[in-house]
């Protein structure tokens, strides 16, 4: 049986993952409105990935005898000033998620819960990839600047990402 303090923290992380998922879905609608189907698809993959993260935590909590308590998810932002802004917001969201997972890991350490520590290691590794991916896209967007051909190339490249690939 998982400790109540960890149960509450995992429930909060589930809500954070689902909020991120919904945010990525909102971002995909922004790109769809700009006819940037590749970027929209990339964000839809992010949406699905965050849902999978939430389910991984939810299933773990249930496996440990914890009670899942689903929180309300706020409406996502769907209007942005620029493509770069979308990815800067995405990076900030991932940084906040990393911080939250780190705190959850520290709580598992404090409570001497080795099973939870082991489970969370995957999330820690995943966050390194998530932040790097956003940083790389931001760097590319800054290099592209106002070059429409460069943007279309990036749109095409990111649109080739399948749900199982790392990009």
Residue 167's pLDDT band (cuts 50, 70, 90)? very low
CATH code of the domain in which 136 resides: 1.20.1260.10
What 3-state class would DSSP assign to 81? Answer: coil
Residue 41 · residue 60 · CB < 8 Å: no
Residue 63 · residue 7 · CB < 8 Å: no
Range of the domain at 16: 4-159
Query: pTM here?
Result: 0.94
What CA–CA distance (Å, rounded) separates 2 from 65? 6
Decide if 133 is inside a domain. Answer: yes
Decide if 143 is inside a domain. Answer: yes
* pLDDT tens profile 82-140: 999 999 999 999 999 999 999 999 999 999 999 999 999 999 999 999 999 999 999 99
Residue 165's pLDDT band (cuts 50, 70, 90)? low
Domain count, the chain: 1
Decide if 8 is inside a domain. Answer: yes
Per-residue H/E/C for 6-72:
HHHHHHHHHHHHHHHHHHHHHHHHHHHHCCCHHHHHHHHHHHHHHHHHHHHHHHHHHHCCCCCCCCC
Decide if 167 is inside a domain. Answer: no
């Amino acid at each position: 049986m998982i400790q109540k303090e960890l149960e509450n923290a995992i429930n909060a992380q589930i809500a954070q993952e689902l909020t991120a998922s919904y945010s990525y879905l909102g971002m995909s609608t922004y790109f769809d409105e700009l006819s940037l189907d590749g970027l929209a698809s990339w964000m839809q993959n992010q949406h699905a990935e965050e849902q999978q993260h939430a389910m991984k935590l939810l299933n773990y909590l249930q496996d440990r005898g914890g009670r899942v308590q689903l929180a309300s998810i706020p409406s996502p932002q769907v209007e942005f000033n620029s493509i770069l802004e979308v990815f800067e917001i995405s990076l900030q969201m991932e940084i906040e998620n990393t911080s939250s997972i780190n705190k959850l890991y520290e709580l598992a350490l404090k409570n001497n819960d080795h099973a939870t520590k082991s489970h969370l290691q995957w999330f820690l590794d995943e966050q390194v990839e998530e932040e790097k991916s956003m940083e790389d896209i931001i760097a590319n967007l800054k290099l592209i600047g106002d070059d429409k051909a460069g943007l279309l190339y990036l749109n095409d490249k990111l649109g080739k990402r399948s749900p199982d690939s790392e990009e």
